[in-house]
């Protein structure tokens, strides 16, 4: 497994090199989101840019997102799941991804099964079942590029989603390019050093920022008081959201 050693690039993000997607062999593209909204926060600009270039984009949402407001009576888990899926479809429609390009796995929020890609011997039955499901999905989609959550993201569902995808790719004869995106490393209180085999770069999304903002606004359950009856409910702070509205997005890739 990659270790953590290099200082976080987020302290000086504007100094990272800029890259373009236009001349890269990307298609088909898969974006893996641990929760409904991660795809838009982390990759909304890239998704919009890829679609404007004519690339096909599939989005896989791993968990059901129902732990964001666990005490709400107005939005019990089944209704909240439906709401969060509808928000995702609305956001992605703005980014030009059709509903038939979006897959919701509905794994339990906060408990996405974890596997170690280097050693499956300790994996639980539920983790092995999720892994086989992931393998079948990847065989069907056959992505050449996968945007997936950063391996060392502070959120356990993000790390678990990374592990499932990486383990599932072990059965593929031609592994796709992996581009990892950060979410919770933007929070200085949770930020960790960068994996020692990772390089970080920025994608220029200046033409897509306004559209990305509109897509993020579709997630009213996560950004407003739409669900008023759970004082412990999750809400994305304006300060955190602002990090995703820069004229660039940060991506991480492992070096050989």
Identify the pLDDT of residue 123: 86
Instruction: Quick: pLDDT tens for 166-185.
Output: 999 986 778 899 999 999 98
Instruction: Quick: pLDDT tens for 69-108.
Output: 999 999 999 999 999 999 999 999 999 999 999 999 999 9
Q: List beta partners, residue 219.
A: none
With beta carbons less than 8 A apart as the criterion, state whether 149 and 61 touch: no
pTM, whole model, 2 decimals?
A: 0.93
Q: List the one residue out of 3, 1, 85, 24 whose CA is nearest residue 251.
A: 24
- Side-chain-side CA neighbours of 33 within 13 Å: the count stands at 27
What are the domain boundaries of the chain?
4-254
Q: Is the dihedral of CA 202, 203, 209, 215 positive or negative?
A: negative
Q: Residue 224: which pLDDT band, with cuts at 50, 70 and 90?
A: very high
> d(Cα 64, Cα 183) in Å, to the nearest integer?
18
**Superfamily for domain range 4-254:** LmbE-like (3.40.50.10320)
> What b/e readout covers 203-237, taking b as 16+ CB neighbours within 10 angstroms?
bebeebbebbeebbbbbebbbeebbeebeebeebe
Instruction: Quick: pLDDT tens for 101-131.
Output: 999 999 999 999 999 888 888 889 999 999 9
Structure tokens, 68: 């964001």
Q: Residue 35: which pLDDT band, with cuts at 50, 70 and 90?
A: very high
């Amino acid at each position: 497994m990659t270790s953590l050693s290099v200082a976080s690039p987020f302290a000086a993000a504007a100094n990272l090199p800029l890259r373009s997607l236009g001349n890269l062999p990307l298609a088909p593209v898969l974006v893996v989101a641990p929760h409904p909204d991660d795809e838009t926060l982390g990759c909304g600009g890239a998704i919009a840019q890829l679609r404007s270039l004519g690339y096909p984009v599939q989005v896989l949402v791993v968990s059901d997102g129902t732990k964001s407001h666990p005490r709400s009576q107005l939005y019990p888990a089944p209704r909240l799941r439906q709401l969060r899926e509808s928000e995702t479809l609305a956001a992605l429609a703005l980014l030009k991804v059709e509903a038939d390009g979006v897959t919701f796995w509905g794994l339990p929020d906060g408990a996405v099964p974890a596997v170690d890609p280097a050693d499956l011997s300790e994996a639980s039955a539920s983790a092995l079942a999720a892994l086989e499901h992931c393998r079948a999905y990847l065989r069907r989609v056959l992505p050449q590029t996968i945007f997936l959550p950063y391996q060392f993201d502070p959120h356990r569902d993000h790390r678990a989603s990374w592990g499932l995808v990486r383990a599932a790719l072990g059965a593929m004869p031609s592994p796709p390019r992996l581009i990892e995106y950060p979410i919770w490393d933007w929070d200085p209180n949770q930020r960790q050093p960068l994996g020692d085999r990772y390089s970080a770069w920025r994608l220029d999304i200046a033409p897509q920022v306004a559209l990305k903002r509109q897509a993020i606004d579709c997630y009213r359950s996560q950004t407003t008081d739409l669900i008023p009856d759970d004082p412990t409910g999750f809400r994305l702070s304006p300060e955190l959201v602002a990090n995703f509205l820069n004229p660039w997005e940060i991506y991480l890739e492992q070096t050989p």
